[in-house]
């Protein structure tokens, strides 16, 4: 889903080790955006463990999940756009907006399930607050990455990837697991 047409350098353009290394290094922006999107998918896939907290579903919740999946399907486009235009703010903000709408959709799905009493009784209270807090804090951090992208798009991308790495690794790091 996220293959960005990674290609090896053209053999006709590479005549030394240094040229090969330089050609591979020029692929770094594509690899960074691929990593960021892979982490995004992983993080939102893990957040879908909210489904374990449901006792039942209904038609509206199913449609909300479909909206979430629709936003997921935009990720390859926004990733490719950012990989192709790595230093352009427009490409960066389209990518960031994709992440923002994923978070907003996830939050809306949870809020709806809770409001309509589709979640397990034990999930009300502490679990529900934790789910909401995790989404809001993550989106706030992504917002900081977006602001950093105003200063420097590569800096904004780097911050978003670091935020994603935090959420991918945080459960194993005690100090970060509360974020």
pLDDT of residue 38: 78
Coil, helix or strand at residue 119: strand
pLDDT of residue 179: 55
From first to last of its 179 residues, what are the pLDDT tens digits of the chain? 455 566 677 788 888 989 888 888 887 777 777 777 777 777 777 666 677 888 888 999 999 989 988 898 888 889 888 888 989 999 999 999 999 999 999 999 999 999 999 998 888 888 889 889 989 999 999 999 999 999 999 999 999 988 888 887 766 556 655 55
pLDDT of residue 115: 94
Coil, helix or strand at residue 173: coil
pLDDT of residue 174: 62
CA-nearest of 71, 62, 63 to 101 is 71
What are the residue boundaries of the structural domains of the chain, listed by start?
Answer: 28-172
Q: Give residue for tokens 């909206």.
A: 67
Contact yes or no for 36/86 (Cβ under 8 A): no
Global confidence as pTM? 0.76
pLDDT of residue 160: 92
Contacts 24+ apart (CB under 8 A), 85-91: 86/29, 86/30, 86/33, 86/153, 86/154, 86/157, 87/153, 87/154, 88/153, 89/149, 89/150, 89/153, 91/153
pLDDT of residue 4: 55
pLDDT of residue 151: 95
Q: Give residue for tokens 């602001």.
A: 147
Pure H helices in the chain: 17-25, 28-47, 59-84, 89-115, 126-151, 153-169
């Amino acid at each position: 889903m996220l293959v960005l047409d990674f290609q090896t350098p053209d053999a006709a353009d590479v005549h030394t080790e240094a040229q090969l290394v330089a050609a591979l290094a020029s692929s770094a922006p594509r690899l960074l955006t691929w990593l960021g999107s892979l982490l995004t998918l992983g993080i939102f896939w893990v957040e879908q463990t909210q489904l374990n907290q449901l006792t039942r579903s209904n038609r509206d919740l199913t449609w909300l999940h479909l909206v979430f999946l629709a936003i997921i399907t935009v990720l390859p486009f926004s990733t490719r756009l950012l990989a192709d235009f790595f230093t352009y703010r427009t490409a960066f903000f389209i990518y960031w907006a994709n992440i923002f709408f994923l978070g907003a959709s996830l939050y809306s799905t949870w809020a709806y399930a809770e409001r309509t009493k589709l979640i397990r009784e034990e999930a009300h209270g502490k679990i529900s607050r934790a789910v909401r807090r995790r989404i809001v804090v993550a989106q706030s951090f992504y917002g900081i990455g977006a602001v950093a992208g105003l200063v420097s798009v590569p800096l904004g991308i780097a911050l978003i990837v670091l935020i994603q790495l935090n959420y991918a690794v945080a459960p194993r790091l005690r100090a970060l697991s509360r974020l």
